[in-house]
Protein backbone atom coordinates (compact mmCIF):
# COMPACT_ATOMS: atom_id res chain seq x y z
CA UNK A 1 0.00 0.00 0.00
CA UNK A 2 1.01 3.61 -0.51
CA UNK A 3 2.78 5.14 2.47
CA UNK A 4 0.43 7.90 3.65
CA UNK A 5 -0.74 9.51 6.90
CA UNK A 6 -3.53 6.92 6.93
CA UNK A 7 -1.25 4.00 7.80
CA UNK A 8 -1.23 3.00 11.48
CA UNK A 9 1.49 4.75 13.48
CA UNK A 10 3.23 1.48 14.34
CA UNK A 11 3.57 0.61 10.65
CA UNK A 12 4.98 4.03 9.79
CA UNK A 13 7.43 3.73 12.68
CA UNK A 14 8.58 0.30 11.55
CA UNK A 15 9.14 1.51 7.98
CA UNK A 16 10.98 4.56 9.31
CA UNK A 17 13.20 2.40 11.51
CA UNK A 18 13.98 0.07 8.60
CA UNK A 19 15.29 2.67 6.17
CA UNK A 20 15.62 6.14 7.64
CA UNK A 21 18.89 7.23 9.28
CA UNK A 22 18.01 10.25 11.48
CA UNK A 23 20.44 13.13 12.05
CA UNK A 24 21.88 13.64 15.55
CA UNK A 25 20.08 10.51 16.79
CA UNK A 26 21.03 7.16 18.32
CA UNK A 27 19.33 5.14 15.59
CA UNK A 28 18.97 1.88 17.48
CA UNK A 29 17.45 3.57 20.51
CA UNK A 30 14.95 5.45 18.37
CA UNK A 31 14.04 2.34 16.38
CA UNK A 32 13.23 0.53 19.63
CA UNK A 33 10.82 3.18 20.83
CA UNK A 34 9.55 4.50 17.48
CA UNK A 35 9.79 8.08 16.18
CA UNK A 36 6.80 10.33 16.71
CA UNK A 37 5.19 10.83 13.30
CA UNK A 38 4.36 14.47 12.59
CA UNK A 39 1.61 14.71 10.00
CA UNK A 40 0.73 18.40 9.60
CA UNK A 41 1.09 21.79 11.24
CA UNK A 42 -0.68 25.10 11.54
CA UNK A 43 0.30 28.33 13.34
CA UNK A 44 2.36 27.22 16.34
CA UNK A 45 0.87 23.72 16.53
CA UNK A 46 2.10 20.40 15.15
CA UNK A 47 -0.18 17.38 14.80
CA UNK A 48 0.97 13.78 15.11
CA UNK A 49 -0.36 10.52 13.73
CA UNK A 50 -2.08 9.74 17.04
CA UNK A 51 -4.21 12.89 16.84
CA UNK A 52 -2.22 14.91 19.40
CA UNK A 53 -1.83 18.66 19.04
CA UNK A 54 1.72 19.63 20.04
CA UNK A 55 2.83 23.18 20.89
CA UNK A 56 6.05 23.90 19.03
CA UNK A 57 8.20 25.90 21.41
CA UNK A 58 11.18 25.61 19.05
CA UNK A 59 9.75 26.87 15.73
CA UNK A 60 10.92 23.60 14.18
CA UNK A 61 14.67 23.98 14.46
CA UNK A 62 14.61 27.70 15.34
CA UNK A 63 13.36 28.51 11.87
CA UNK A 64 9.59 28.67 11.34
CA UNK A 65 9.45 32.37 12.25
CA UNK A 66 6.12 33.14 10.54
CA UNK A 67 4.50 29.93 11.83
CA UNK A 68 3.16 26.95 9.91
CA UNK A 69 0.47 26.77 7.27
CA UNK A 70 1.02 29.96 5.27
CA UNK A 71 -0.53 29.06 1.93
CA UNK A 72 0.96 32.13 0.22
CA UNK A 73 4.38 30.47 0.32
CA UNK A 74 2.99 27.31 -1.25
CA UNK A 75 1.34 29.39 -4.00
CA UNK A 76 4.57 31.26 -4.73
CA UNK A 77 6.51 27.97 -4.85
CA UNK A 78 4.01 26.40 -7.27
CA UNK A 79 4.01 29.46 -9.53
CA UNK A 80 7.81 29.60 -9.57
CA UNK A 81 8.10 25.87 -10.27
CA UNK A 82 5.88 26.25 -13.31
CA UNK A 83 7.68 29.34 -14.61
CA UNK A 84 11.31 28.45 -13.90
CA UNK A 85 11.85 25.52 -11.52
CA UNK A 86 15.61 25.65 -11.74
CA UNK A 87 18.42 27.49 -13.32
CA UNK A 88 21.88 28.13 -12.01
CA UNK A 89 23.59 31.44 -11.44
CA UNK A 90 27.10 30.18 -12.21
CA UNK A 91 27.92 30.93 -15.80
CA UNK A 92 26.98 34.50 -16.68
CA UNK A 93 23.25 34.03 -15.98
CA UNK A 94 20.85 35.24 -13.33
CA UNK A 95 17.10 35.18 -12.69
CA UNK A 96 14.45 37.39 -11.12
CA UNK A 97 13.95 35.56 -7.78
CA UNK A 98 17.69 35.81 -7.02
CA UNK A 99 17.85 39.45 -8.12
CA UNK A 100 14.81 40.39 -6.05
CA UNK A 101 15.93 38.50 -2.95
CA UNK A 102 19.46 39.95 -2.93
CA UNK A 103 17.93 43.41 -3.35
CA UNK A 104 15.64 42.86 -0.36
CA UNK A 105 18.34 41.37 1.87
CA UNK A 106 20.71 44.25 1.07
CA UNK A 107 17.93 46.68 1.99
CA UNK A 108 17.26 44.97 5.34
CA UNK A 109 20.88 44.33 6.34
CA UNK A 110 22.65 47.09 8.31
CA UNK A 111 25.59 49.21 7.18
CA UNK A 112 27.36 48.28 3.98
CA UNK A 113 26.37 44.61 4.04
CA UNK A 114 25.10 44.87 0.49
CA UNK A 115 26.07 41.64 -1.25
CA UNK A 116 24.73 38.09 -0.96
CA UNK A 117 26.36 34.76 -1.82
CA UNK A 118 23.71 32.03 -1.72
CA UNK A 119 23.95 28.51 -0.33
CA UNK A 120 21.46 25.77 0.41
CA UNK A 121 21.86 25.83 4.19
CA UNK A 122 23.65 27.45 7.10
CA UNK A 123 26.37 24.80 7.03
CA UNK A 124 27.12 25.50 3.38
CA UNK A 125 27.10 29.23 4.00
CA UNK A 126 29.69 28.88 6.76
CA UNK A 127 31.82 26.72 4.47
CA UNK A 128 31.59 29.59 2.01
CA UNK A 129 32.65 32.04 4.73
CA UNK A 130 35.67 29.96 5.68
CA UNK A 131 36.89 29.90 2.10
CA UNK A 132 35.89 33.50 1.46
CA UNK A 133 37.82 35.06 4.36
CA UNK A 134 40.96 33.08 3.52
CA UNK A 135 40.63 33.99 -0.15
CA UNK A 136 40.11 37.65 0.79
CA UNK A 137 43.42 37.81 2.66
CA UNK A 138 45.23 35.83 -0.04
CA UNK A 139 44.08 38.29 -2.71
CA UNK A 140 45.26 41.13 -0.46
CA UNK A 141 48.72 39.55 -0.45
CA UNK A 142 48.48 37.93 2.99
CA UNK A 143 47.99 34.20 2.30
CA UNK A 144 49.29 33.33 5.78
CA UNK A 145 46.35 35.11 7.38
CA UNK A 146 44.25 31.94 7.42
CA UNK A 147 43.35 30.99 11.02
CA UNK A 148 39.72 31.39 11.99
CA UNK A 149 38.97 31.78 15.68
CA UNK A 150 35.67 30.45 16.94
CA UNK A 151 34.19 29.44 20.29
CA UNK A 152 33.77 26.25 22.25
CA UNK A 153 30.23 24.93 22.16
CA UNK A 154 29.41 27.08 19.12
CA UNK A 155 27.27 25.52 16.41
CA UNK A 156 28.00 26.60 12.85
CA UNK A 157 26.78 23.53 10.96
CA UNK A 158 27.51 19.90 10.34
CA UNK A 159 29.70 19.76 7.23
CA UNK A 160 33.45 19.23 7.59
CA UNK A 161 34.21 22.96 7.40
CA UNK A 162 31.30 24.31 9.43
CA UNK A 163 31.51 21.46 11.95
CA UNK A 164 35.16 22.40 12.46
CA UNK A 165 34.24 26.05 12.95
CA UNK A 166 31.72 24.88 15.53
CA UNK A 167 32.99 23.96 18.96
CA UNK A 168 30.92 20.89 19.78
CA UNK A 169 33.18 18.27 21.33
CA UNK A 170 30.78 15.41 20.52
CA UNK A 171 31.02 16.37 16.85
CA UNK A 172 34.79 16.78 16.94
CA UNK A 173 35.03 13.26 18.33
CA UNK A 174 33.66 11.79 15.09
CA UNK A 175 34.99 11.91 11.56
CA UNK A 176 38.23 13.79 11.97
CA UNK A 177 37.06 17.28 12.96
CA UNK A 178 38.27 19.95 13.37
CA UNK A 179 40.33 20.58 10.25
CA UNK A 180 43.58 22.51 10.79
CA UNK A 181 43.64 26.29 11.08
CA UNK A 182 40.72 26.70 13.47
CA UNK A 183 41.10 27.76 17.10
CA UNK A 184 38.39 27.71 19.77
CA UNK A 185 38.13 30.06 22.75
CA UNK A 186 35.67 29.84 25.68
CA UNK A 187 32.05 30.94 25.47
CA UNK A 188 30.76 33.72 27.76
CA UNK A 189 28.58 31.51 29.98
CA UNK A 190 28.56 33.60 33.16
CA UNK A 191 26.04 31.55 35.16
CA UNK A 192 27.96 28.30 34.79
CA UNK A 193 31.53 29.57 34.62
CA UNK A 194 31.61 33.11 36.03
CA UNK A 195 32.79 32.05 39.50
CA UNK A 196 33.17 35.11 41.72
CA UNK A 197 33.37 37.60 38.83
CA UNK A 198 30.57 40.09 38.14
CA UNK A 199 28.76 39.64 34.80
CA UNK A 200 30.56 42.71 33.46
CA UNK A 201 34.04 41.57 34.49
CA UNK A 202 33.39 38.10 33.15
CA UNK A 203 32.21 39.45 29.78
CA UNK A 204 35.45 41.41 29.34
CA UNK A 205 37.62 38.54 30.54
CA UNK A 206 36.04 36.08 28.08
CA UNK A 207 36.36 38.56 25.20
CA UNK A 208 40.03 39.09 26.06
CA UNK A 209 40.62 35.42 25.24
CA UNK A 210 40.27 36.49 21.62
CA UNK A 211 43.15 38.93 22.02
CA UNK A 212 45.26 36.28 23.76
CA UNK A 213 44.61 33.83 20.90
CA UNK A 214 45.45 36.46 18.26
CA UNK A 215 48.71 37.35 20.01
CA UNK A 216 49.61 33.69 20.50
CA UNK A 217 49.16 32.80 16.82
CA UNK A 218 50.21 36.20 15.43
CA UNK A 219 48.03 38.94 14.04
CA UNK A 220 49.41 38.21 10.57
CA UNK A 221 48.09 34.64 10.80
CA UNK A 222 44.51 35.27 11.92
CA UNK A 223 41.89 35.83 9.22
CA UNK A 224 38.62 36.06 11.09
CA UNK A 225 36.58 35.55 14.23
CA UNK A 226 33.19 33.84 13.88
CA UNK A 227 30.45 33.77 16.49
CA UNK A 228 26.71 33.69 16.90
CA UNK A 229 25.53 37.01 18.43
CA UNK A 230 23.77 34.77 20.97
CA UNK A 231 24.97 31.19 21.03
CA UNK A 232 21.88 29.14 20.17
CA UNK A 233 22.42 25.39 19.93
CA UNK A 234 25.11 25.77 22.61
CA UNK A 235 22.30 26.54 25.08
CA UNK A 236 21.15 30.11 24.37
CA UNK A 237 24.10 31.68 26.14
CA UNK A 238 23.31 35.40 26.32
CA UNK A 239 26.63 37.23 26.69
CA UNK A 240 27.20 39.90 29.35
CA UNK A 241 26.72 43.42 27.93
CA UNK A 242 30.47 44.03 28.09
CA UNK A 243 31.34 41.07 25.86
CA UNK A 244 30.57 42.17 22.30
CA UNK A 245 31.99 45.72 22.55
CA UNK A 246 35.31 44.23 23.64
CA UNK A 247 35.23 41.62 20.86
CA UNK A 248 34.51 44.38 18.34
CA UNK A 249 37.40 46.48 19.67
CA UNK A 250 39.82 43.55 19.38
CA UNK A 251 38.73 42.65 15.82
CA UNK A 252 39.13 46.30 14.76
CA UNK A 253 42.53 46.65 16.46
CA UNK A 254 44.10 43.57 14.85
CA UNK A 255 42.41 43.83 11.45
CA UNK A 256 40.47 40.60 11.87
CA UNK A 257 37.30 40.02 9.83
CA UNK A 258 34.22 39.52 11.98
CA UNK A 259 31.64 36.95 10.90
CA UNK A 260 28.31 37.05 12.74
CA UNK A 261 26.50 33.75 12.35
CA UNK A 262 22.91 34.99 12.21
CA UNK A 263 21.40 31.64 11.22
CA UNK A 264 19.28 31.62 14.38
CA UNK A 265 19.44 35.28 15.44
CA UNK A 266 18.49 36.68 12.02
CA UNK A 267 15.07 37.65 10.72
CA UNK A 268 13.42 38.83 13.91
CA UNK A 269 14.46 36.27 16.52
CA UNK A 270 16.06 38.87 18.82
CA UNK A 271 13.49 41.61 18.18
CA UNK A 272 15.39 43.28 15.32
CA UNK A 273 16.02 42.06 11.80
CA UNK A 274 19.45 40.83 12.88
CA UNK A 275 21.00 39.84 16.19
CA UNK A 276 23.98 42.06 15.35
CA UNK A 277 21.67 45.07 15.65
CA UNK A 278 20.36 43.93 19.05
CA UNK A 279 23.87 43.27 20.38
CA UNK A 280 25.58 46.25 18.73
CA UNK A 281 27.92 44.27 16.44
CA UNK A 282 29.31 45.48 13.11
CA UNK A 283 30.29 42.34 11.19
CA UNK A 284 31.96 42.14 7.77
CA UNK A 285 29.96 39.01 6.91
CA UNK A 286 26.71 37.56 8.24
CA UNK A 287 25.66 33.94 7.84
CA UNK A 288 21.94 33.52 7.19
CA UNK A 289 19.54 30.57 6.71
CA UNK A 290 16.56 29.26 8.75
CA UNK A 291 14.33 32.35 9.27
CA UNK A 292 15.23 33.64 5.78
CA UNK A 293 12.54 31.31 4.41
CA UNK A 294 10.95 30.43 7.77
CA UNK A 295 12.12 26.91 6.91
CA UNK A 296 9.59 26.54 4.06
CA UNK A 297 12.46 25.98 1.61
CA UNK A 298 16.12 25.13 2.25
CA UNK A 299 18.16 28.27 1.61
CA UNK A 300 21.11 29.99 3.25
CA UNK A 301 23.73 32.52 2.38
CA UNK A 302 26.40 35.00 3.34
CA UNK A 303 25.71 38.73 3.45
CA UNK A 304 29.00 40.40 2.62
CA UNK A 305 30.19 43.99 3.12
CA UNK A 306 31.27 46.21 0.22
CA UNK A 307 35.01 45.87 0.83
CA UNK A 308 35.11 42.08 1.08
CA UNK A 309 32.75 41.69 -1.90
CA UNK A 310 34.92 44.01 -3.99
CA UNK A 311 38.12 42.11 -3.19
CA UNK A 312 36.50 38.69 -3.75
CA UNK A 313 34.96 39.95 -7.01
CA UNK A 314 38.33 41.12 -8.31
CA UNK A 315 39.05 37.57 -9.50
CA UNK A 316 37.19 34.30 -9.88
CA UNK A 317 36.00 32.82 -6.56
CA UNK A 318 36.09 29.10 -7.32
CA UNK A 319 33.18 28.23 -5.12
CA UNK A 320 29.42 27.65 -5.37
CA UNK A 321 26.63 25.14 -5.06
CA UNK A 322 24.23 23.76 -7.66
CA UNK A 323 21.42 25.24 -5.62
CA UNK A 324 23.02 28.65 -4.88
CA UNK A 325 20.15 31.09 -5.37
CA UNK A 326 17.67 28.32 -6.29
CA UNK A 327 14.73 30.16 -7.89
CA UNK A 328 11.97 28.38 -5.94
CA UNK A 329 13.76 28.77 -2.60
CA UNK A 330 14.54 32.42 -3.40
CA UNK A 331 10.93 33.19 -4.37
CA UNK A 332 9.64 31.56 -1.18
CA UNK A 333 12.19 33.43 0.96
CA UNK A 334 11.11 36.70 -0.64
CA UNK A 335 7.46 35.95 0.14
CA UNK A 336 8.44 35.12 3.73
CA UNK A 337 10.22 38.49 4.05
CA UNK A 338 7.16 40.21 2.56
CA UNK A 339 4.98 38.64 5.26
CA UNK A 340 7.42 39.54 8.04
CA UNK A 341 7.45 43.13 6.81
CA UNK A 342 3.87 43.77 5.72
CA UNK A 343 2.34 42.03 8.71
CA UNK A 344 4.65 43.94 11.07
CA UNK A 345 5.82 40.74 12.71
CA UNK A 346 8.74 42.54 14.37
CA UNK A 347 6.31 44.99 16.00
CA UNK A 348 4.29 42.01 17.23
CA UNK A 349 7.49 40.53 18.66
CA UNK A 350 8.52 43.72 20.44
CA UNK A 351 5.12 44.89 21.64
CA UNK A 352 3.22 41.67 22.31
CA UNK A 353 5.12 38.38 22.13
CA UNK A 354 8.39 39.38 23.80
CA UNK A 355 6.86 40.89 26.96
CA UNK A 356 4.56 37.87 27.38
CA UNK A 357 7.32 35.36 26.70
CA UNK A 358 9.80 37.05 29.06
CA UNK A 359 7.22 37.20 31.85
CA UNK A 360 6.27 33.55 31.40
CA UNK A 361 9.91 32.45 31.19
CA UNK A 362 11.14 34.33 34.24
CA UNK A 363 8.00 33.09 36.04
CA UNK A 364 9.47 29.59 35.90
CA UNK A 365 12.46 30.74 37.99
CA UNK A 366 10.66 29.94 41.24
CA UNK A 367 10.60 26.22 40.39
CA UNK A 368 12.94 24.24 42.66
CA UNK A 369 14.75 22.71 39.64
CA UNK A 370 15.40 26.02 37.88
CA UNK A 371 18.69 27.81 38.53
CA UNK A 372 18.75 30.63 36.00
CA UNK A 373 16.26 31.91 33.45
CA UNK A 374 17.70 34.04 30.68
CA UNK A 375 16.08 35.40 27.53
CA UNK A 376 16.63 37.96 24.76
CA UNK A 377 13.96 38.60 22.17
CA UNK A 378 12.30 35.30 21.33
CA UNK A 379 15.10 32.95 22.42
CA UNK A 380 15.66 31.88 25.99
CA UNK A 381 17.08 29.17 28.19
CA UNK A 382 16.90 27.98 31.76
CA UNK A 383 19.46 26.04 33.73
CA UNK A 384 18.32 22.92 35.57
CA UNK A 385 20.02 22.38 38.90
CA UNK A 386 19.41 20.23 41.97
CA UNK A 387 20.41 23.19 44.16
CA UNK A 388 19.74 26.79 43.08
CA UNK A 389 21.99 28.64 45.50
CA UNK A 390 25.15 26.63 44.92
CA UNK A 391 24.43 26.22 41.17
CA UNK A 392 25.23 22.54 41.72
CA UNK A 393 25.31 20.04 38.90
CA UNK A 394 23.29 16.81 38.98
CA UNK A 395 25.00 13.60 40.08
CA UNK A 396 23.79 11.99 36.81
CA UNK A 397 25.80 12.44 33.59
CA UNK A 398 25.54 15.97 32.16
CA UNK A 399 22.51 16.12 29.92
CA UNK A 400 20.51 13.36 31.60
CA UNK A 401 18.32 15.78 33.55
CA UNK A 402 17.84 17.92 30.44
CA UNK A 403 16.92 14.87 28.39
CA UNK A 404 14.40 13.77 31.01
CA UNK A 405 12.84 17.22 31.12
CA UNK A 406 12.61 17.35 27.32
CA UNK A 407 10.92 13.94 27.31
CA UNK A 408 8.39 15.11 29.91
CA UNK A 409 7.72 18.25 27.83
CA UNK A 410 7.16 16.09 24.75
CA UNK A 411 4.85 13.75 26.68
CA UNK A 412 2.89 16.89 27.64
CA UNK A 413 2.69 17.90 23.96
CA UNK A 414 5.26 20.67 24.17
CA UNK A 415 8.40 20.78 22.04
CA UNK A 416 11.32 22.21 24.00
CA UNK A 417 14.91 21.37 23.43
CA UNK A 418 17.65 20.61 25.92
CA UNK A 419 21.33 21.38 25.63
CA UNK A 420 23.00 19.34 28.32
CA UNK A 421 21.07 20.49 31.40
CA UNK A 422 19.70 23.72 29.93
CA UNK A 423 16.19 23.87 28.52
CA UNK A 424 15.80 26.06 25.48
CA UNK A 425 12.85 27.92 23.96
CA UNK A 426 12.51 29.65 20.58
CA UNK A 427 8.88 29.68 19.42
CA UNK A 428 7.47 31.01 16.14
CA UNK A 429 7.51 34.81 16.23
CA UNK A 430 3.77 35.06 15.56
CA UNK A 431 2.87 33.28 18.81
CA UNK A 432 0.09 34.86 20.91
CA UNK A 433 0.13 35.59 24.68
CA UNK A 434 -2.44 32.81 25.26
CA UNK A 435 -0.23 30.29 23.47
CA UNK A 436 2.77 31.51 25.46
CA UNK A 437 0.83 31.03 28.70
CA UNK A 438 0.02 27.48 27.58
CA UNK A 439 3.74 26.81 26.98
CA UNK A 440 4.32 28.00 30.56
CA UNK A 441 1.68 25.63 31.97
CA UNK A 442 3.00 22.62 30.07
CA UNK A 443 6.62 23.43 30.94
CA UNK A 444 5.77 23.71 34.64
CA UNK A 445 3.94 20.38 34.54
CA UNK A 446 6.99 18.79 32.91
CA UNK A 447 9.31 20.31 35.55
CA UNK A 448 7.02 19.06 38.33
CA UNK A 449 7.12 15.57 36.84
CA UNK A 450 10.93 15.66 36.87
CA UNK A 451 11.17 16.85 40.48
N1 LIG B 1 24.75 28.29 12.25
C2 LIG B 1 23.94 28.29 13.32
C3 LIG B 1 24.07 29.37 14.33
C4 LIG B 1 22.98 27.29 13.47
O5 LIG B 1 22.19 27.29 14.56
C6 LIG B 1 22.87 26.30 12.48
C7 LIG B 1 21.87 25.23 12.61
O8 LIG B 1 21.26 25.03 13.63
C9 LIG B 1 23.75 26.34 11.39
C10 LIG B 1 24.67 27.35 11.30
C11 LIG B 1 23.70 25.29 10.35
O12 LIG B 1 22.60 25.48 9.54
P13 LIG B 1 22.03 24.26 8.66
O14 LIG B 1 21.50 23.25 9.61
O15 LIG B 1 20.98 24.93 7.81
O16 LIG B 1 23.15 23.74 7.85
pLDDT, tens digit (0-9, with 9 covering 90-100), for 23-39? 999 999 999 999 999 99
pLDDT tops 90 at residue 391: no
Strands (E), 80-207: 113-119, 147-151, 182-185
Does residue 284 form part of some domain? Answer: yes
Taking residue 445's Cβ as centre, other Cβ atoms within 10 Å add up to 15
Would you call 305 helix, strand, or coil by DSSP? strand
| Nearest C-alpha neighbor of 183 from the set 207, 143, 216, 229 | 216
Q: Of all atoms in ligand 1, which is nearest to the CA of residue 157? A: 11
Q: Quick check: 301 and 125 in contact, CB under 8 A? A: yes
For ligand 1, atom 12: residue with the closest CA:
122
Task: Judge if 89 and 78 occupy the same domain.
Answer: yes
Task: Judge if 373 and 329 occupy the same domain.
Answer: no
pLDDT tops 90 at residue 366: yes
**Residue 397 pLDDT grade (very low, low, confident, very high; cuts 50, 70, 90):** confident
Does residue 29 form part of some domain? Answer: no
Pocket test for ligand 1, best of 118, 120, 151, 156 (most atoms within 8 A of CB): 156
Report the C-alpha gap between 135 and 391 in whole angstroms.
Answer: 45
CATH number of the domain enclosing 400: 3.90.1150.10
242 Cβ inside 6 Å of ligand 1 = no
Task: Judge if 294 and 375 occupy the same domain.
Answer: no
Does residue 4 form part of some domain? Answer: no
156 Cβ inside 6 Å of ligand 1 = yes
322 CA to middle of ligand 1, Å? Answer: 19
224 Cβ inside 6 Å of ligand 1 = no
Average pLDDT value for the chain: 97
Phi, psi values for residue 419, rounded to 5°: -125, 110
Would you call 280 helix, strand, or coil by DSSP? coil
123 Cβ inside 6 Å of ligand 1 = yes
228 Cβ inside 6 Å of ligand 1 = yes
Task: Judge if 245 and 317 occupy the same domain.
Answer: yes
- Per-residue pLDDT, averaged over 240-265, amounts to 98
pLDDT tops 80 at residue 1: no
User: Domains in the chain: how many in total?
Assistant: 2
Residue ending a domain, choose from 342, 374, 409: 342
52 CB-near residues (< 8 Å, 6+ apart) = 413
Task: Judge if 218 and 259 occupy the same domain.
Answer: yes
371 CB-near residues (< 8 Å, 6+ apart) = 191, 382, 383, 384, 385, 388, 391
Residue 396 is predicted with a pLDDT of 86
Task: Judge if 175 and 221 occupy the same domain.
Answer: yes
- The boundaries of the domain holding residue 53 are 36-66+344-450
pLDDT tops 90 at residue 271: yes
Does residue 290 form part of some domain? Answer: yes
In this predicted model, what pLDDT tens digit does every residue of 183-240 receive, in sequence order?
999 999 999 999 999 999 999 999 999 999 999 999 999 999 999 999 999 999 999 9
Does residue 179 form part of some domain? Answer: yes
ipTM score assigned to the predicted complex: 0.99
Share of the chain above pLDDT 90, in %: 96
Task: Judge if 58 and 104 occupy the same domain.
Answer: no
Does residue 21 form part of some domain? Answer: no
Exposure string for 324-351, b = 16+ CB within 10 A, e = fewer: bbbbbbbbbbbbbbebbeeeebbebbee
Model pTM greater than 0.95?
yes
Report the C-alpha gap between 418 and 422 in whole angstroms.
Answer: 5
Phi, psi values for residue 369, rounded to 5°: -90, -5
Residue 388 is predicted with a pLDDT of 87
> In the beta sheet, which residues pair with residue 305?
113
Q: Of all atoms in ligand 1, which is nearest to the CA of residue 261? A: 3
Task: Judge if 160 and 244 occupy the same domain.
Answer: yes
Residue ending a domain, choose from 294, 315, 342: 342
Exposed (0-12), middle (13-18) or buried (19+): which is 137, by Cβ within 10 Å?
Answer: buried
Q: Of all atoms in ligand 1, which is nearest to the CA of residue 123? A: 16
For ligand 1, atom 1: residue with the closest CA:
156
155 Cβ inside 6 Å of ligand 1 = yes
157 Cβ inside 6 Å of ligand 1 = yes
Task: Judge if 46 and 165 occupy the same domain.
Answer: no
Q: Of all atoms in ligand 1, which is nearest to the CA of residue 298? A: 15
Residue ending a domain, choose from 284, 308, 342: 342
321 Cβ inside 6 Å of ligand 1 = no
Q: Of all atoms in ligand 1, which is nearest to the CA of residue 228? A: 3
Report the C-alpha gap between 243 and 87 in whole angstroms.
Answer: 43
| Nearest C-alpha neighbor of 114 from the set 286, 316, 319 | 286
373 Cβ inside 6 Å of ligand 1 = no
In this predicted model, what pLDDT tens digit does every residue of 301-350 receive, in sequence order?
999 999 999 999 999 999 999 999 999 999 999 999 999 999 999 999 99
254 CA to middle of ligand 1, Å? Answer: 28
Does residue 11 form part of some domain? Answer: no
CATH number of the domain enclosing 298: 3.40.640.10
**DSSP element (H, E) containing 28:** helix 27-33
CA angle 2, 5, 7 (to 5 degrees): 60
Task: Judge if 190 and 110 occupy the same domain.
Answer: yes
Phi, psi values for residue 225, rounded to 5°: -120, 135
Pocket test for ligand 1, best of 264, 333, 417 (most atoms within 8 A of CB): 264
Q: Of all atoms in ligand 1, which is nearest to the CA of residue 159? A: 16
Task: Judge if 357 and 427 occupy the same domain.
Answer: yes
156 CA to middle of ligand 1, Å? Answer: 5
227 Cβ inside 6 Å of ligand 1 = no
Task: Judge if 56 and 194 occupy the same domain.
Answer: no
233 Cβ inside 6 Å of ligand 1 = yes
Listing DSSP states for 349-379 in one string gives IIIIIHHHHHHHHHHGGGSTTEEEEEEETTE
Does residue 25 form part of some domain? Answer: no
Q: Quick check: 399 and 211 in contact, CB under 8 A? A: no
Residue 77 is predicted with a pLDDT of 98
Amino acid sequence: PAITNHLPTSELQALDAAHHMHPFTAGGELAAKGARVITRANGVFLHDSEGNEILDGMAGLWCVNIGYGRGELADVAARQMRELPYYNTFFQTTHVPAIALTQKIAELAPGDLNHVFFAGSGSEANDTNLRMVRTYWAIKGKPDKHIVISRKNAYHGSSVGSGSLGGMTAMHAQGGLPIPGIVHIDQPNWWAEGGSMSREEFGVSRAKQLEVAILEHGEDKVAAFIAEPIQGAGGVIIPPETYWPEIQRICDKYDILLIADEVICGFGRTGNWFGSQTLGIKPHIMTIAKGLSSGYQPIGGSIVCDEVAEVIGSGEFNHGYTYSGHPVAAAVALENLRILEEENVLDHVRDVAMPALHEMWHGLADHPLVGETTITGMMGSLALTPHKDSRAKFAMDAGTAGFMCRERCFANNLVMRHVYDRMVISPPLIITPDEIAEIGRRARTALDECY
